[in-house]
Amino acid sequence: MSRFRRFGWRSKTPTEEETSSKIESDKMDSSEDMSRTTPETASVPSFVPHSEAEERAPAAVSMGRLIATSDEVTIDREKTVDYAKRAKITPQTAAEIVPGKVLKRDEEGRVHIKIVFYGPSLSGKTTALRWLFANVRSLAKGKLVEISDELGRTTFFDFVPVSASERMVFDVFTVAGQRRHAGSRIKVLRDCDGLIFMADSTPEQMNENLASIQELRIALGTDRMAMLPIIVSLNKRDLPNALPVDYMVQMLDLEGYPVFATIATEGKNLLRMFQRVLRDALIFKVGI
């Protein structure tokens, strides 16, 4: 992981609480928000949810043997690189690195910021987007577009435009997590300005988490992976066999990223996570 990721633009907010990824598994509160809180100076609207679940989720219990290892996961690098080329995901230009230099505007002059939920199938990406769409007030939201299969799983993407102001629009996407949809999933990454990686906390899905993060790293490339605002959601923390947070962060090699322990079905920590990615995307893309 680049030093820029650890000590670069995120260090602009020294007043934030440090993300804790060193929690002992037998003492871990699975509903604790592992992120740094959003400072009052952030240029993101103050969203207010209709309701927030305040109950503390049960702590993780013994999972038995952890079968996931990074050695067991193989992603076809050549095919993934080819998908990225077809999607026109290229190394960052010098202009893109400068906040405010390259902005996407519509015919009304509004700046569009693209946010993508990424992660394995059934990790909770669409559930999280639906909760935000239904429960968060103070958002001028367009129509939620869903393309799904007969089982209700996303087969291409879910999309909702969120108007933060008269001059700022966040285009929020989720992608299909199934491996067979790798080509269409990687297309959605093009021109991404902020990303939420949503991992499944159950032991059975750890290899799928590993495959998904490997694919993401290959598709984005080293420079975009280092520069792009990325927020980590460890979802399904209410399940009794949820893996320890520090184990998941270490296995997925996600040290240094803001981490949120979420329960998408209840909306737990989704609002704070969403605020964080919007704020970081604004700093990264617009410079405000």
> Model confidence over 156-166: pLDDT tens digits?
445 666 766 67
Q: Please report the pLDDT score of residue 134 as a whole number.
A: 83
Q: Please report the pLDDT score of residue 72 as a whole number.
A: 61
The token pair that represents 264 in the structure block? 């998408």
Q: What is the spatial distance between Cα 86 and Cα 60, in angstroms, rounded to a whole number?
A: 42
Render pLDDT for 117-147 as a digit per residue (tens, 0 to 9): 999 988 999 899 888 888 877 565 555 555 4
Q: Please report the pLDDT score of residue 160 as a whole number.
A: 65
For residue 34, count other CB atoms closer than 10 A to its CB. 23
Q: What is the spatial distance between Cα 30 and Cα 111, in angstroms, rounded to a whole number?
A: 37
Q: Please report the pLDDT score of residue 167 as a whole number.
A: 82
| pLDDT tens for each residue of the chain, 288 residues long | 443 443 344 434 433 344 444 434 444 444 444 444 333 334 455 455 544 433 333 333 334 445 555 556 678 899 999 999 999 999 989 899 899 999 999 888 888 899 999 999 889 998 998 888 888 775 655 555 554 444 444 434 456 667 666 788 888 888 875 666 678 889 889 999 999 999 999 999 999 999 999 999 999 999 999 999 999 999 999 999 999 999 999 999 999 999 999 999 999 999 999 999 999 999 999 887
Residue type, 188: V
Q: What is the spatial distance between Cα 49 and Cα 101, in angstroms, rounded to a whole number?
A: 33
Q: What is the spatial distance between Cα 105 and Cα 120, in angstroms, rounded to a whole number?
A: 31
CA-based nearest residue to 157, from 145, 168, 142: 145
SS in 3 state form for the chain? CCHHHHHCHHHHCCCCCCCCCCCCHHHCCCCCCCCCCCCCCCCCCCCEECCCCCCCCCCCCCCCCCCCCHHHCCCCHHHHHHHHHHCCCCCCCHHHHCCCCCCEECCCCCEEEEEEEECCCCCCHHHHHHHHHHHEECCEECCCEEEECCCCCEEEEEEEEEEEECCEEEEEEEECCCHHHHHHHHHHCCCCCEEEEEEECCHHHHHHHHHHHHHHHHHHHHHHHHHCCEEEEEECCCCCCCCCHHHHHHHCCCCCCCEEECECCCCECHHHHHHHHHHHHHHHHCCC
Gyration radius (Cα) of the chain, Å: 18
Sequence-distant (6+) residues with CB within 8 A of 129 are 117, 144, 158, 160, 172, 174
In order of their start, the domains of the chain are: 3-12+75-285 (3.40.50.300)
pTM of the predicted protein model: 0.73
Sign of CA dihedral 178, 182, 216, 267: negative
Q: What is the spatial distance between Cα 5 and Cα 11, in angstroms, rounded to a whole number?
A: 9
Q: What is the spatial distance between Cα 261 and Cα 88, in angstroms, rounded to a whole number?
A: 33
Give the orientation angle of helix 125-135 with respect to helix 270-285, to 10 degrees: 90
